[in-house]
């Protein structure tokens, strides 16, 4: 009986996805990217109109009219790709995971048809560098502040044989008292606000907080509801944001590593 | 659907074979002059549901003693619309916790800057020698949604379990209001993350029914494939969860692999792992080319074969049988009284499935058996899921092999005022949407989620078991917190 299981397990090929193939991968998330050469004022205007969560905006930046795209607000519905006449495509590579809030927004000069690079997130480090950051194990406590369970499903997937978060020395712990990092999902509901604060209080320093998903980053589709307080940063200080609705496991890995790189890599503790 | 407005207490309709109608849902709404009404929806054994509308003159009479399934609905009705329920067994607030002011009812009152209040909530107290209280949650020890469980135990044995949920209440029904009909699908699929496609399809069908339209056959076939895939993913994941909870780690890890392979074939086929953002009123936003569908169905078939082998191992392992059998029995009487739906109902002897009883889309053309068993324990719920997974895998192959040609979308033409409803058999059971729109914008959308229906039955399965079996019993129900709380 159990030998059948062992036999079957041994027959299985190795499924693990190498870290190089995970970093920056966003397949299956439908995160948009702009093809600047195809951008016109009309298309930009339409993108602002069709986006259901107002992730696209138009503004003046140094007297130039610009299109902005805030990934923290994007729910990956794909309407921009439908209406963008080729100026919007599904992102092939996605580096905006685990970054600071202001870095989750990109700008394009509509007239020059070019991206305005305010400060691009650094390209992903090769994996030796990442392993060197992780001399210590990282204990993660997932906290659901009111999510729909979509982000939880993807976070759970991090422990399956394809992603195997344990290979990075990271694992999920049961108590916030054992946690180095809180991985927080969902808009913070009124009913959960107190429990979210209490959980954060129980986490020992350095209390890394990562906001996960469109709802965690911006409130997403639930922004403005009477039963919702707001995004995670309405209640807790946030170290990094991972957009997506829900973010794929690859985006979660990218984001968690990025937050470590930013916080642990520069800390002197 | 006729609008039968009655006065006084609602009379529970009889089914076609003389029994008591099954309560599907109960919710508030507003009439033309913003007068409050209560809608009761029953299943009387006919293809369509029976709806009865009652005007509210200050209060309504509770039907919860007659139909215990109505208890949570009546509490929600009070919290949303401020309707007094006369003769109710439980008048405590349900959807808002201690911080919400008593006299603000979000569906009729302005909700900008609602002040933070501090009211008291009383749990049922169980007194006696040796009785201890164990409070668990809302934050649980794992990657799980929030909810509170209050156990009263003697030693290890649970005497009473009281639930306090709605921690993830996001005011979703209110959020639908004034949205365009097309945009509502996005809110619907954010209600329960792992059942998002069932929600999107159910919402879409409700709009289509309201507009009196039928989606193209290719869209109906793709929807069936998506719905059955979602069921397969859920059942594989649930059986894996049950193995995790009894420490059968090797098999559990294998099942997470199978689940992931199903999500990856979905991503290859339609660019999204969970079929999000695809179903909209009028059909599908995305046509999937037949070659991809074929590849997809081969991937599903391979994953299912793996699952079927492991399922046999699980069912034949003595230590699993020992833990699953006789644990968490939900008896038929309790299941009937609480109008339980889905795999939980079918494991307790209730022969119920929307796909057969109220057929929609392509299910009208497919023949399939509905697994039912009467044991009502964890093993029964596990077996039901394993058997249903087989049917889902078969339906996906059938639909993929005979995919009709043609378009996948027809723009819905909404008249000035429309009203419609629809039901879908989601992986957790009967999901029902009721909506009303004025000039293409939603004025009311009510969601009956199977989890809201089934949660009150869980304590009945847990009592008399040891507290250490609670996670296992809870997993065997696998209810959504967000789907319940909305």
Q: Do residues A112 and A174 both lie within one domain? A: no
Q: Do residues A103 and A132 both lie within one domain? A: no
Query: Which residue of B142, B167, B172 is in closest CB contact with A192?
Result: B167
Residue B439: is it exposed, middle or buried by C-beta count within 10 angstroms (0-12/13-18/19+)?
Answer: exposed
Q: What's the pLDDT score for residue A121?
A: 53
Q: Is B167 on the interface with A (CB under 8 A)?
A: yes
Say if A27 falls within a structural domain. no
Residue of B nearest to A174 (CA): B141
Q: Which of A91, A116, A141 is the last residue of a domain?
A: A116
Q: Do residues A259 and A191 both lie within one domain? A: yes
Say if A153 falls within a structural domain. yes
Distance of CA B305 to the CA centre of its chain: 28
Selected residues 222-251 of chain B with any CB under 8 Å from a CB in chain A? 250-251
Q: Do residues A162 and A72 both lie within one domain? A: no
Selected residues 426-465 of chain B with any CB under 8 Å from a CB in chain A? none
Domain hosting A80: range is 32-116
Q: Do residues A49 and A154 both lie within one domain? A: no
Q: Do residues A152 and A92 both lie within one domain? A: no
Q: Which residues of chain B have pLDDT under 70?
A: 1-8
Q: Kindly determine whether residue A192 and residue B196, on different chains, have CB atoms separated by under 8 Å.
A: no
CATH superfamily of B172-485: Cytochrome-c3 Hydrogenase, chain B (1.10.645.10)
Contacts of A8 (CB under 8 A, 6+ apart): B254, B309, B310
Task: Read off the tokens for B115.
Answer: 């002040």
CATH number of domain containing A218: 3.40.50.12280
Residue A128: is it exposed, middle or buried by C-beta count within 10 angstroms (0-12/13-18/19+)?
Answer: exposed
The torsion region of residue A85 among left (phi > 0), alpha (psi -120 to 50) and beta comes to left
Q: What's the pLDDT score for residue A182?
A: 94
Cβ contacts below 8 Å, chain A against chain B, sum to 192
Q: Do residues A93 and A197 both lie within one domain? A: no
Q: Kindly determine whether residue A190 and residue B174, on different chains, have CB atoms separated by under 8 Å.
A: no
Q: Kindly determine whether residue A148 and residue B99, on different chains, have CB atoms separated by under 8 Å.
A: no
Handedness of CA B106, B110, B114, B118 (dihedral sign): negative
Q: Do residues A99 and A143 both lie within one domain? A: no
Residue of B nearest to A215 (CA): B190
- Residue from B110, B136, B168, B270 to probe the interface with A (highest A Cβ count within 10 Å): B168
> What stretches of chain A show up as alpha helix (H) in DSSP?
2-11, 19-22, 41-50, 79-83, 127-133, 150-157, 193-202, 213-218, 249-263
Say if A148 falls within a structural domain. yes
The one-digit pLDDT tens for each residue of chain A (269 residues) are 677 778 878 888 888 999 889 998 999 899 999 999 998 989 999 999 999 999 999 988 888 889 999 999 999 998 999 898 889 999 999 989 998 888 899 999 888 888 888 665 554 444 445 455 556 678 999 999 999 999 999 999 999 999 999 888 888 999 999 998 999 999 999 999 999 999 999 999 888 899 999 999 999 999 999 999 999 999 999 999 999 999 999 999 999 988 887 766 544 33
Collapse the DSSP code of A230 into the 3-class scheme (helix H, G, I; strand E, B; otherwise coil) and give the result.
Answer: strand
Q: Do residues A144 and A243 both lie within one domain? A: yes
CA distance linking residue A192 with residue B137, whole number of Å: 11
Say if A21 falls within a structural domain. no
Say if A6 falls within a structural domain. no
Q: Is B105 on the interface with A (CB under 8 A)?
A: no
Say if A25 falls within a structural domain. no
Q: Do residues A153 and A83 both lie within one domain? A: no
Q: What's the pLDDT score for residue A74?
A: 95
Selected residues 170-189 of chain B with any CB under 8 Å from a CB in chain A? 170-172, 174-175, 183, 186-187
Say if A53 falls within a structural domain. yes
CATH number of domain containing A55: 3.30.70.20
Q: Do residues A168 and A83 both lie within one domain? A: no
Task: Read off the tokens for B412.
Answer: 């819905």
Collapse the DSSP code of A260 into the 3-class scheme (helix H, G, I; strand E, B; otherwise coil) and give the result.
Answer: helix
Q: Kindly determine whether residue B106 and residue A226, on different chains, have CB atoms separated by under 8 Å.
A: yes
Q: Kindly determine whether residue B313 and residue A1, on different chains, have CB atoms separated by under 8 Å.
A: yes
Say if A19 falls within a structural domain. no
CA distance linking residue B131 with residue B152, whole number of Å: 7
Q: How close B365 comes to chain A (CA, Å)?
A: 31
ipTM > 0.95 (yes/no): no
Q: Which of A87, A116, A145 is the last residue of a domain?
A: A116
Q: Kindly determine whether residue B272 and residue A159, on different chains, have CB atoms separated by under 8 Å.
A: no
The domain limits of chain B are: 4-86, 172-485
Q: What's the pLDDT score for residue B448?
A: 95
Residue A93 DSSP one-character state: B
Q: Kindly determine whether residue B257 and residue A160, on different chains, have CB atoms separated by under 8 Å.
A: yes
Q: What's the pLDDT score for residue B129?
A: 92
Q: Kindly determine whether residue A2 and residue B317, on different chains, have CB atoms separated by under 8 Å.
A: yes
**Among the listed residues B262, B282, B270, the one whose alpha carbon sits nearest the alpha carbon of residue B211:** B282
Q: Which of A116, A150, A170 is the last residue of a domain?
A: A116
How many other C-beta atoms lie within 10 A of the C-beta of residue B298? Answer: 13
Query: Which residue of A2, A82, A146 is in closest CB contact with B168?
Result: A146
Give the total number of structural domains in chain A: 2
Residue of B nearest to A150 (CA): B193
Residue of B nearest to A145 (CA): B168
Q: Do residues A102 and A82 both lie within one domain? A: yes
């Amino acid at each position: 009986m159990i030998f059948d299981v062992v036999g079957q397990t041994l027959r299985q090929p190795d499924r693990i996805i190498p870290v190089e193939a995970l970093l920056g991968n966003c397949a299956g998330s439908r995160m948009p990217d702009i093809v600047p050469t195809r951008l016109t004022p009309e298309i930009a205007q339409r993108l602002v109109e069709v986006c259901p969560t107002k992730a696209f905006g138009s503004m003046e930046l140094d007297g130039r009219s610009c299109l902005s795209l805030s990934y923290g607000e994007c729910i990956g519905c794909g309407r921009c790709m439908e209406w963008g006449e080729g100026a919007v495509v599904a992102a092939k590579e996605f580096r905006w995971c685990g970054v600071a809030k202001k870095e989750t927004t990109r700008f394009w000069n509509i007239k020059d048809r070019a991206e305005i690079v305010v400060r691009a997130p650094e390209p992903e480090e090769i994996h030796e560098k990442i392993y060197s950051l992780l001399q210590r194990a990282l204990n993660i406590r997932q906290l659901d502040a009111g999510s729909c369970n979509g982000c939880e499903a993807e976070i759970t997937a991090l422990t399956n044989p394809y992603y195997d978060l344990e290979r990075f020395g990271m694992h999920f712990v049961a108590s916030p008292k054992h946690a180095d990092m809180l991985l927080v999902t969902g808009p913070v509901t009124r009913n959960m606000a107190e429990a979210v604060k209490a959980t954060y209080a129980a986490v020992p320093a350095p209390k890394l907080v990562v906001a996960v998903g469109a709802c965690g980053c911006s409130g997403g589709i639930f922004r403005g509801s009477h039963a919702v307080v707001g995004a995670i940063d309405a209640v807790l200080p946030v170290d990094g944001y991972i957009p997506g609705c829900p973010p794929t496991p690859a985006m979660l890995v990218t984001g968690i590593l990025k937050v470590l790189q930013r916080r642990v890599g520069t800390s002197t503790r | 659907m006729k609008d039968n407005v009655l006065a006084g207490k609602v009379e529970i309709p009889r089914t076609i074979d003389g029994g008591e109608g099954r309560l599907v849902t109960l919710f508030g709404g507003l009439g033309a002059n913003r007068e409050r009404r209560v809608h009761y929806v029953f299943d009387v054994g006919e293809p369509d549901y029976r709806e009865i509308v009652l005007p509210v003159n200050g209060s309504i009479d509770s039907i919860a003693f007659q139909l215990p399934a109505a208890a949570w609905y009546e509490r929600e009705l009070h919290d949303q619309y401020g309707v007094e329920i006369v003769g109710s067994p439980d008048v405590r607030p349900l959807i808002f916790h201690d911080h919400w002011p008593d006299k603000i009812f979000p569906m009729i009152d302005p909700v900008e800057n609602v002040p933070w209040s501090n009211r008291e909530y009383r749990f049922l107290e169980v007194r006696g020698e040796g009785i201890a209280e164990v409070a668990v949650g809302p934050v649980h020890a794992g990657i799980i949604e929030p909810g509170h469980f209050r156990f009263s135990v003697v030693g290890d044995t649970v005497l009473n379990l009281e639930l306090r949920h709605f921690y993830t209440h996001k005011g979703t029904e209110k959020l639908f209001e004034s949205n365009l009909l097309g945009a509502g699908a996005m809110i619907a699929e954010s209600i329960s993350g792992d059942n998002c496609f069932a929600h999107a399809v159910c919402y879409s069908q409700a709009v289509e029914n309201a507009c009196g339209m039928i989606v193209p056959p290719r869209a109906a076939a793709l929807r069936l494939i998506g719905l059955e895939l979602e069921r397969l993913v859920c059942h594989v994941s649930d059986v894996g969860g049950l193995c995790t909870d009894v420490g059968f780690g090797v098999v559990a890890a294998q099942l997470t692999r199978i689940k992931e392979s199903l999500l990856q074939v979905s991503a290859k086929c339609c660019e999204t792992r969970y079929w999000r953002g695809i179903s909209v009123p009028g059909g599908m936003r995305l046509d999937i080319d037949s070659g991809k569908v074929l590849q997809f169905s081969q991937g599903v078939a391979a994953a299912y074969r793996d699952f079927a082998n492991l399922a046999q191992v699980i069912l034949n392992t003595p230590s699993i049988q020992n833990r699953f059998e006789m644990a968490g029995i939900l008896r038929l009487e309790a299941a009937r009284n609480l109008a339980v739906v889905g795999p939980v109902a079918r494991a307790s002897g209730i022969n119920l499935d929307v796909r057969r009883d109220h057929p929609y889309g392509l299910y009208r053309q497919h023949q399939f058996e509905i697994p039912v068993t009467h044991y009502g324990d964890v093993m029964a719920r596990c077996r039901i899921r394993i058997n249903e997974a087989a049917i889902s895998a078969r339906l996906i192959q059938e639909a993929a092999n005979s995919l009709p040609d043609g378009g996948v979308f027809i723009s819905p033409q909404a008249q000035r005022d429309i009203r419609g409803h629809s039901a879908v058999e989601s992986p957790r059971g009967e999901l029902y949407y009721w909506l009303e729109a004025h000039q293409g914008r939603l004025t009311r959308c009510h969601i009956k989620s199977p989890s809201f229906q089934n949660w009150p039955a869980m304590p009945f399965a847990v009592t008399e078991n040891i507290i250490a079996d609670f996670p296992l019993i809870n997993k065997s129900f696998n209810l959504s917190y967000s789907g319940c709380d909305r």
